[in-house]
Chain A
Amino acid sequence: MFKRGFYPIVGLLILVLLLVVGLYQLLDSSDEKPDAGGGLSLTDFLSAGSENEERFAKAQPDYVLSFPEDHLAHPTFRSEWWYLNGNLQHRDDPAQRFGFQFTIFRQALTKQEGAAVSGWLAPQFYMGHAGLGVFGQNKHLTAERFSRRGPGLAGTQAEPLSVWLEDWQLQAEQNDNLFPATVTAGALGNAVGESFSYRLRLVPEKPRVYQGEEGYSPKREEPGFASHYYSYTRLRVEGELELAGESIPVTGAAWYDHEWSSNILAEYQTGWDWFSLQLEDGRDLVFMELPARPGSGKSNFRQVALFDVQGERLPVDARLIQLDVSDHWRSPSGIRWPSGWRLQMPDHDLDLTITPRQKNQENNLSVRYWEGAVKVTGSHNGQGYVELTGYE
């Protein structure tokens, strides 16, 4: 269902956009004291968010996803994202391991009124996050950028099928299929002066799969709060990383998600723990838990899906899943992140130990979350990515 969620990140995304828009004196001129309440108001987004929610399109249970159109942006929905993660290794030296993340978020500020609004006036904002873990050196490199859709600065297009934010892009080789595709992102001197980039070719090893009910993915117990959500759970990766002026050939396996919706997290939900795991036996597992705030009287909300080698969905009883945190890590920014898990699914004989490739995989960007490559051992071996949000 909603994968690691969307909602806290989107909420934070809005916040960030506003911060950037309204408060750059904070970043820009440290000598100028920002007056409290100054800058563009955040309430514009956050409160208007709940008030105006009705104005945006909502995910419908009977909506049938159709492709390639649904690969593109859905500007009538409030929020959307295109997401890739992957475990990589040096082509000639499998001991050198890397992990990458690529996300382009779209956020509509107001409901788009037909096609009349174009160019700079389109109320569509984009944020991109790119991450690269260099596990041999305990390095976690990240980069971030923003743009409005504008006259082609960011967005999606059908021919060739692509999603982009300036020069970061995911571009298909054919017009009717998203994959095979190439993803390019990086930074020449990010916020902390590091430079990295990657250019990876992604070839599907399994067909597209639908999350929730045929791509209609509920977000909480109450009906009517859902997203449209589909994935490619296993993509073969070949390409290069550019790191410290050096080009590194890599191979590996990636995971792709595309999700859109107009509802935000419920009041009682703080964030999510999201796992995408690729097992060596060919099965892929996605599991997400949205903890309810203690005392809210609500229970944690779970979504799970297990796909076999052919991409066929296997029946899973979410209630039987047992997830225990086995370790924690306190990041330099002061947050105590879970950093090691035991995941048990007795109905599928899975008892998995999930260990981060390195503890330091915090994305300390405008939105702070942990997005990291993990190694899977236990009853089955494998690898994957974990996303943690809502921790403070």
Chain B
Amino acid sequence: MIFRASLRHFRHHPWQLLLLLLGISLGVAVVAAIEITTDSARHSFREAQLQIYGRATHRIQAQQRIPESLYVSQRREQSHWQSAPVISSVVKTSGDEHLLMQLIGVDPLREQGFRNQLGRISGSDIGFSDLQTSPAVVMARATAAEVGVGLNEQLTLITANGTQTVTLVGLLEDAGDPRLQQLLLMDIGQAQRMLGMEGYLSHIDLILDADEVAAVKAWLPGGVQLEVTEAALSERAQLASALYFNLQALGLLALVVGLFLVFSSVSFSLSQRRPIFAQLRTLGLTVNELYRYLAMELLLIATVGTLAGLLLGIVLAQLLLSLMLNTLSDLYVTSPLSLLLLNPLSLGKLVLMGIGGCMLAAWKPCQQLAHVPPASLQQRYLQEQTALQQSRQLGRYGVPALVFIALVLMLWQGSGLWGAFAGIAALLLAGAWLMPAALTGLSHLLERQLAGTQLALRKPVLLMLIRDNRRNLSRTGIAAMALMIAISATVGIGGMVSSFRDAVQLWLTERLNADLYVSQSRVLPGVRKALPSEFITDVASLEGIEAVATLRRVQLSVGGRPVNLYASELPQPMRPAYQFVASDRNAIWQRLAEPDSVLISEPLANRMGLRAGDQLVLTTNAGERDFSVVGVYYDYGSDSGRILMPATTFIRHWSESPYGLALYLADSGRLDDIEQAIRERWGGALDLRLQRSSLLLQRSVEVFNRTFVITDVLRLLALVVAFVGILSSLLAIQLERQEEVSLLKAVGLNRLELVSLLLGQSLLLGLGAGLLAIPVGELLAWGLTHVVQLRAFGWSIPYQPDLANWLTALLLSVSAAGLASLYPAWRFAHQRGIRRWE
């Protein structure tokens, strides 16, 4: 019977069911789209890397390359450690379209278990000797077609060792598998010779079990490290962690908004059916029976809604993925492969999340319904009274409690990243609980202003409008909360993103403070050619140059993650480029002059728990050495961290030559002359790249902004979902006012008055939500920038409120509320006569 009653209810109010489903689906869809997109992007990167790393669990590597004698010793002393030597380098095909490829030189005899691409060779009679005796390569069939090279034809490659010619002797049957299409396989001996690496390897791949790892570490000589490839793999995948993080925050926002939508939809649909349930209860339906039925109904609706949302999410993810991968390719050398990953585990997780979230959101309204005595269920006035009382209680006790919890979580470092997120969520919830009280307050305030004025006397509808707002709180309050949450989250995340942008741009502007940057043109990404020392001396002696700073770089591993160490002479004009966390600038620069002193970036300091005065162990050419940290500087370039030291210190421990120069001119107006002079003197001998800082800055900002395109798109998407959800739930509420409208008509309200009453109420609601969303959103933005970003990446960002966000918030909330009432107002206004029941 209860089932039939509900069925009839939904048959009479199909849009209610539809809107309930829409709320669930949209929320789930956005979360699913973000989850699937990020998962796929990560997976794509991983797959691309897997082609190169193979199945190795560990890798022996040094700062640059390792002598092959190390590999020979390993095979001769500890042959039971499964290992394979690898030469690895990025090369470019010549021709009109440069294609970046990963050249991998391997010993086919040792490849078993590591990489199995060689097994896919087909099409020609290649023997081992063909690979070994001549510079011969194997590549994917699709790539060969793209490059336009056939079997046994020659192919010109641009390598770090100049232009080289190889012969294509075999094709990998890629079968459309994009994972193979960037690979260029070669015999290790030929690869060594071609790249001028005779006697050296890029690294040694290992497949080790847990017991062997310690033994390998003990066996290794100084200067080389054993790295976990899993870490290396995920490191590459994590590189874009700032990006992923932003996406996850958006996903979370969409989820919260979605769940709130569910909460409001369920509450509303239940409140609509209260009279029916009350009758059934009076007829003898027990609380448990009602419970069970409601749970069943919700489960059904949640399942349908979630599955629909999932499907929508997958479609959405397909669209987002290409956008995402474009962004990522901008950032990294290897172009990832576009593979949409539908991982059953994460899909299952999403389904559980959708259904579970719905049940959780609906639990409270169901419980309320089931526990209220049947008699009061039928009395509208009592309901409103209860709602008001509850919201007052929430406002009085709940909100302070939540704010307290939020503050504790956010200020107490030990709660970690998830603690910070929980704090943010608590803050949002507190804002939502404040909503009814805020609306009441707003209406009281307006009432007081209006009461007794001429306007109120002439237009009694106005007062009605304002007071009615309070009266309808049990129904509209929840929609208003949802609206407020969506808007404030938009404000908060918008604030965080814009603060981050501002901070990075400011940082870039400060950091790129030289007039001119000089390096050799990079033939291949990641390959930096050293500048000859005669060149450096000559440039330094040019007239009009105030200071020259050489730039050196070496990649080290600190705390299990790759960290770039930079070195320069750090002349006076360069120093303003670095802003320090606390401490006295002059003292830091003075102490840096002492031997073995370094500066570290803020993320590294936070990650390793280091402060000025601490010691940092770095792997030098001669093994591990202690360095003293004299200062911590702000840096957004890497969340792994960076290290900076004077060139004099660097030279004592490492051998890398300068790859670039930063030139500071006495008179910036002479930039053209200096550029001209350098080109004239060295243009013939070196392929130089001269970059003015303004151009460099512009390009950096461009790349940086491109990475935020996807964030913007997703933010927009989340907003659209919130908008549609709010619109639909408000629409549902307004459409339910048939009875009331009939009454008003009977009392004598004309169309215009009716429309302005309905619209006005909505707009007031929207205004209230918008106004409250601004402070809550600002708090949220503050929490995200100061607490969450710091804990996630280790960098602190000065938070700057963005007034444009405020305007957006008001506009959004008012227009959502206004739009939601347009149709009901129009419909009621056009109805003829007075209907008691629809």
Contacts and interface: CB of A to CB of B under 8 A. Distances in A.
Interface of A: 17-18, 20-29, 32, 34-35, 37-45, 48, 109-110, 119-121, 123, 125, 145-148, 150-153, 164, 166-168, 187-189
Nearest to B193: A121
B192 interface: yes
B75 to A, nearest CB: 5
B112 A37 contact: no
B235 to A, nearest CB: 26
B129 A110 contact: yes
13 contacts: A21-B108, A22-B108, A29-B119, A35-B122, A41-B124, A44-B127, A44-B130, A48-B127, A119-B68, A123-B129, A146-B109, A148-B132, A167-B75
Contacts of A29: 116, 119
A21 B109 contact: yes
B128 interface: yes
Interface string B76-109: 1111100000000000000000000000000111
Contacts of A43: 125, 127
B297 interface: no
B170 to A, nearest CB: 8
Interface of B: 68-69, 72, 75-80, 107-113, 116, 118-122, 124-130, 132-133, 173, 187-190, 192-193, 198-199
A100 B78 CA distance: 22
Contacts of A48: 127, 129
A23 B119 contact: yes
Contacts of A164: 76
A197 B190 CA distance: 35
Given A21-B118, A121-B190, A44 B76 contact: no
A109 B129 contact: yes
Given A21-B128, A151-B68, 4 more contacts: A17-B128, A24-B118, A24-B119, A44-B127
B599 to A, nearest CB: 41
A44 B190 CA distance: 19
A148 B75 CA distance: 12
Given A40-B126, A44-B129, A120-B188, A28 B116 contact: yes
A289 to B, nearest CB: 33
Contacts of A44: 125-130
Contacts of A187: 80
Given A44-B129, A119-B198, A148-B109, A39 B121 contact: yes
Contact of B75 (A17, A20, A37, A153): A153
Contacts of B119: 22-26, 28-29, 32, 34, 38-39
Q: Is the interface of A mostly helix, strand, loop or mixed?
A: mixed
A22 B246 CA distance: 46
A166 B76 contact: yes
Contacts of A109: 127-129, 132-133
A167 B109 contact: no
Q: Which 3 A-B pairs have the closest CB atoms?
A: A44-B127, A25-B119, A120-B189
A287 B577 CA distance: 85
Given A44-B129, A121-B189, A121-B190, A38 B76 contact: no
Contacts of B133: 109-110, 121, 123
A131 B344 CA distance: 47
Contacts of A27: 112
B122 A147 contact: no
Nearest to A145: B79
A22 B75 contact: no
A24 B106 CA distance: 14
Contacts, number: 134
Contact of A25 (B72, B77, B120, B126): B120
Contacts of B190: 121
A147 B129 contact: no
A42 B125 CA distance: 8
Given A38-B121, A39-B119, A40-B127, A150 B107 contact: yes
B137 to A, nearest CB: 14
Given A121-B190, A152-B69, A28 B199 contact: no
A151 B69 contact: yes
B128 A18 contact: yes
B198 A40 contact: no
Given A25-B119, A167-B79, A45 B109 contact: no
A25 B126 CA distance: 16
Contacts of B173: 35, 38
Contacts of B121: 22, 38-40
Nearest to A120: B189
Contact of A38 (B77, B80, B120, B199): B120
Contact of B76 (A34, A120, A167): A167
Contact of A147 (B77, B109, B124, B192): B109
A34 B625 CA distance: 52
Contacts of B127: 18, 21-22, 40-45, 48, 109
Contacts of B125: 41, 43-44
Contacts of A28: 112-113, 116, 119
A37 B68 CA distance: 35
A167 B77 contact: yes
A289 B825 CA distance: 108
Contacts of B120: 25, 32, 38
A269 to B, nearest CB: 24
A152 B173 CA distance: 34
B112 A20 contact: yes
Nearest to B55: A28
Contacts of A41: 124-127
Nearest to B187: A120
Nearest to A24: B112
A49 to B, nearest CB: 11
A20 B190 CA distance: 20
Nearest to B191: A120
A21 B199 CA distance: 23
A22 B109 CA distance: 9
Contacts of B192: 119-120
Given A21-B108, A121-B190, A152-B72, A38 B128 contact: no
Contacts of B198: 119
